[in-house]
Structure 1
Amino acid sequence: MVRISRIVFWLMALAWGMMAGFVAMGGFSSEAKQQECRLLEYAPAPVDNPLKGLVPYQGDYREYFPHSMEFNYLPYSALVKGYNEFDWAPLEKMLNDIAGRGHQAVFRICLEYPGRKGLIPDFLIRDGLKIHKWWYSEGPGHAPALVETPDYEDRNLRKSLRSFVTALGQRYDGDPRIGFITAGLLGLWGEWHTYPKVELFASKTVQLEVMDAYEAVFKVTPVLFRYPVGEKSFRSDLAKNVDRPFGYHDDSFAWATLHTGRKGDEWFFMTALKAAGAEEKWKTHPIGGEIRPEAWGIVFDEKPRDKRVQDFLQCVEATHVSWLMDSGMFQKKQDPNRIQRAMKLVRRMGYEFHCRSVSLRRLPDGKLVVRLEIENRGVAPFYYQWKGEWGILTGGKPVRTIPASGKLTGLLPGDAPRLWSETLDLSGLKPGLYKLALRVPNPQKNGHPLKFANKTQDIDAAGWLTLSDLPVN
């Protein structure tokens, strides 16, 4: 009798275990109160997730390498026609063209660019603005290019700059077509230097006026500056910006990024970042930049032929960079091995959200309590307040969507998983088998949705992460 009782006991335990597993997979259809929990399998997120990755100049280069953003310069003279008179048509044309491909724009406005004329508005020149003309050369093998540098101390120019930034922010802050703005306006290419003609650069007073203007009007769209500057800097002519709500862009990425300790390398990005006391800035404000042209393409090789190229992955993990302008991977078809390595390394940039587990608890009144764990496996947070949505799917389409109250912003790599908890109303649904899903849509029309690093992303419907089966009686 004892042996039979034990057999019956183990058979009952086995049956209960099988039913518990069935419930965890969403197969139990009772509306009674119950708990269902399942782990969610990881899979790499797309390389072209929005607001991260490599960024080509304006155009569609997806046949060469995946991307979700595009970059371009605009001359100051194209937009500014008077002290309070602006023509936004060139910027609108650029933004609409990029948005038409579902991409977001990164742009910079500049007053001087080697080899280009007419970037300074005529009305300022008529009003007495002095122009310094000089020849700039990249070095041996590069032909000198004419540069037209304005007198940045000119009162009329300073008035115009303040007026323009204010108008730009009032019109475009929070525009979903824009991913990031690099501050620009001052110096060669808008990079806040006139090297080697350092005496021509704007004074700290002018720099502060430009920073004040940006800070006053841009509350949503991130603005990035070229150089991190604290109380001390490798350049005595730069104004402090470390205590302002700006990110930074490293425009010599993987070439002058990592700290070397060598004399003369004080301007290297991580060295300057540390000197400024801004090593934690990435936690709240984005880091971007541009891969140094000498490193284009070869930076993704296992052993770059130029020994001056710094290790790309080390640079990514040190800077916590989200996006990088690049032309190397978008110029032509690359070697498959280079593309494969680039895909792996670029995916490491920015955020990568993985939903670890989901728990479901049904209530007698037809409601469903959902608890979802989300972790960030990337190197940086997500900097926009994009809103998530829960979806009840059938036949690959949502029949009901419910706004999610959880947030992605502020979830840092290495943080404990963030819990999203929601009570969903299932009343009124016809009996049947549904799918519970989640998505984070892009606020830009036709923009790429944010996708999770999960195996069930897009498995039932494009843009949706399937979380569980959801039978309804």
Structure 2
Amino acid sequence: MRTRDGDRLTRMPWRALVASTAALVVALTLAASPSTGRPPVSERTFALAPAGAGADLPNPLRGQYRWFGAEPTPSTVTSNDVYYRDQVYWGRIEKADNAWDFSLIDAGLADAGARGGKFGFRVMAYCPGCWMNFRADFPAVTPPFVALQPGTDVPDWNSPAFLAQWQELMAELGRRYGDDPRLGYVDVGGYGSYGEWHVGDGARISDANGLAVVEAVTNAFPTKHVLINTMTPVEFTLAALRANPNLGLRTDSLGCPDMYSMVAVDKRLQKAWRTRPFFSEWCTRADPVLGAQQVRRFHVSTLSSGNMPWDHASLDARQRSAYATALATAGYRLRLRSLTLPRSIDAGDRIAVRTSWVNQGSAPTYDRWDVRLTFTRNGTATTVSLGDQLRGVIDSSRRRTRVAVPGLRKGRYDVSVSVVDPTGYSAPMYLANAGRTSSGSYRVGSVSVR
């Protein structure tokens, strides 16, 4: 046979021609048929209905928490997390050296536990002008065994004695509560006025000693979120974040200009929310419209109504709408958009499950949640895990997981999905989907097993 090579005819050897033709046939055959010899799997995508934009999602470590006994505002919003600060200052839980009284921390944990929420606390070492200073029946905020700066009532932040006592306190708290599932986070506290890491009088703490104060808390609670107030100098805060993987941020002034926080002036701190939580509370002069904007801009996870400067009923329509938006969007607000399954399943087979998620909130969840798929028929349920799909989801996410579905007999099965706390403490996550069942799951549809 001849082929044309440019304008010149050449002769192709017949053996080469046969080999070339055979290779072409094999290639076309492989392209036309799957290598497994099985037909392509027919799939069905189930779209799940969304919940309303302002639907109440009472999940832990997001939205509104209870602060100093204040009831939720408005009362229609669920608030299960509990935060203590004034109740558990240092002089109250350690009146004398190693004379511990943790009854109030126990009470806070019990309160949060009864609600199915998480507890957080801050230990203050210094609280100038605070109410307890004017009550003879309350111990001093600064314990009598803590060294003071000469001629003042300000702790001697840089003395080895202060640091040693602080480390001892945190170690004892960690031994008692470090593994308690009801405990969600610990404010570093310790240093500065109100434990907010700023001082009005006396010498400030050195950076080295400041890092030691932080590390005493993160070392005592290595599996919990630990927060430092963002009134600290930027470079110090960045150094603390680098040194402590479980350290997040806090500001006490949501709704005030720039939250009186260094986060607003530094882009590096503004990126921390992607992997570290950022908690807040309303400023005593807060503007709810500005606060709602800050929740989105700075990716705030939690906020509190404990010291709001206004009554909710007194807000005008624009302020009330902004306040509702702040509550609804603070933290994670995850919705399952769709779930894709084979139309039919062979008993005992492994199947591909595809999920599509969207986070309508301001921040991700920073904790592990297990996504589970349940097949139910005639009252018998088989559940399989799709794994930790949601931690760190910021905007949207698509996942594909292959799972075995053992024990399924022939028949038609109802399928539901749930997002479960692997520790068994928290209730299944409330998703931004309609149709939550009493068990905390969401119905997807049905499939057949052959």
- Structure 1 residue aligned with 2:143: 121
| Cα deviation 1:234-281 (Å, max 9, x = unaligned) | xxxx894242332111211221327xxxxxxxx64334433xx32211
- Structure 1 residue aligned with 2:24: none
| CA drift at 1:208 | 1.9
Matches within 5 A, 1:313-324: 313-324=292-303
| CA drift at 1:449 | 3.1
Matches within 5 A, 1:147-226: 148-195=153-200, 197=201, 199-226=202-229
Matches within 5 A, 1:307-386: 311-327=290-306, 334=313, 337=317, 339-361=320-342, 362-367=344-349, 368-386=351-369
Number of residue-to-residue matches in the alignment? 391
- Tell me how far apart the structure 2 counterparts of residues 442 and 133 of structure 1 sit (CA, whole Å): 53
Q: Cα gap change, 1:191/1:329 in structure 2, threshold over 3 Å: closer, same or farther? A: closer
| CA drift at 1:348 | 1.5
- Tell me how far apart the structure 2 counterparts of residues 273 and 65 of structure 1 sit (CA, whole Å): 33
Where 2:196 maps in the other structure, the secondary structure is: coil
The answer on whether the counterparts of 2:352 and 2:400 sit within 8 Å (CA) in structure 1 is no
| Cα deviation 1:28-81 (Å, max 9, x = unaligned) | xxxx96422222333345343321112231447243533231211111133336
- Structure 1 residue aligned with 2:428: 449
Where 2:215 maps in the other structure, the secondary structure is: helix
TM-score of the superposed pair, with normalisation by structure 2: 0.76
- Structure 2 residue aligned with 1:440: 420
- Structure 2 residue aligned with 1:130: 148
| CA drift at 1:177 | 1.0
- Structure 1 residue aligned with 2:46: 38
Larger % of helix: which?
Answer: 2
**Percent identity between the aligned chains?**
21
With a CA cutoff of 8 Å and minimum separation of 6, indicate the structure with the bigger relative contact order: 1
Larger radius of gyration: 2
The answer on whether the counterparts of 2:382 and 2:407 sit within 8 Å (CA) in structure 1 is no
- Structure 1 residue aligned with 2:77: 65
Unaligned runs of 5+ in 1: 1-31, 135-147, 259-266, 301-310
The answer on whether the counterparts of 1:68 and 1:103 sit within 8 Å (CA) in structure 2 is yes
- The code of the aligned residue for 1:65 comes to V
User: RMSD value over aligned CA atoms?
Assistant: 3.3
Where 2:390 maps in the other structure, the secondary structure is: coil
| Cα deviation 1:395-416 (Å, max 9, x = unaligned) | 9x88333333233112222xx5
- Structure 2 residue aligned with 1:101: 115
- Structure 1 residue aligned with 2:59: 49
Which shows bigger deviation, 422-431 or 208-217? 422-431
- Structure 2 residue aligned with 1:76: 90
Residue 450 of structure 2 corresponds to residue 469 of structure 1: no
- The code of the aligned residue for 1:69 comes to D
- Tell me how far apart the structure 2 counterparts of residues 441 and 365 of structure 1 sit (CA, whole Å): 29
| CA drift at 1:155 | 2.6
Q: Cα gap change, 1:345/1:211 in structure 2, threshold over 3 Å: closer, same or farther? A: closer
The answer on whether the counterparts of 1:47 and 1:67 sit within 8 Å (CA) in structure 2 is no
The answer on whether the counterparts of 2:411 and 2:449 sit within 8 Å (CA) in structure 1 is yes
TM-score of the superposed pair, with normalisation by structure 1: 0.72
Unaligned runs of 5+ in 2: 1-39, 134-139
- Tell me how far apart the structure 2 counterparts of residues 282 and 174 of structure 1 sit (CA, whole Å): 24
| CA drift at 1:94 | 1.5
Residue 387 of structure 2 corresponds to residue 405 of structure 1: yes
Q: Cα gap change, 1:442/1:98 in structure 2, threshold over 3 Å: closer, same or farther? A: farther
Q: Cα gap change, 1:334/1:88 in structure 2, threshold over 3 Å: closer, same or farther? A: same
- Structure 2 residue aligned with 1:257: 258
| CA drift at 1:454 | 1.8
- Tell me how far apart the structure 1 counterparts of residues 233 and 345 of structure 2 sit (CA, whole Å): 55
| Cα deviation 1:95-128 (Å, max 9, x = unaligned) | 1122112221121111122232412234x15xxx
Q: Cα gap change, 1:434/1:39 in structure 2, threshold over 3 Å: closer, same or farther? A: closer
Q: Cα gap change, 1:103/1:132 in structure 2, threshold over 3 Å: closer, same or farther? A: farther
- Tell me how far apart the structure 1 counterparts of residues 82 and 157 of structure 2 sit (CA, whole Å): 29
Q: Cα gap change, 1:269/1:119 in structure 2, threshold over 3 Å: closer, same or farther? A: same
- Tell me how far apart the structure 1 counterparts of residues 310 and 292 of structure 2 sit (CA, whole Å): 22
Q: Cα gap change, 1:331/1:102 in structure 2, threshold over 3 Å: closer, same or farther? A: farther
Where 2:326 maps in the other structure, the secondary structure is: helix
Where 1:248 maps in the other structure, the secondary structure is: strand
Where 2:417 maps in the other structure, the secondary structure is: strand
| CA drift at 1:366 | 4.1
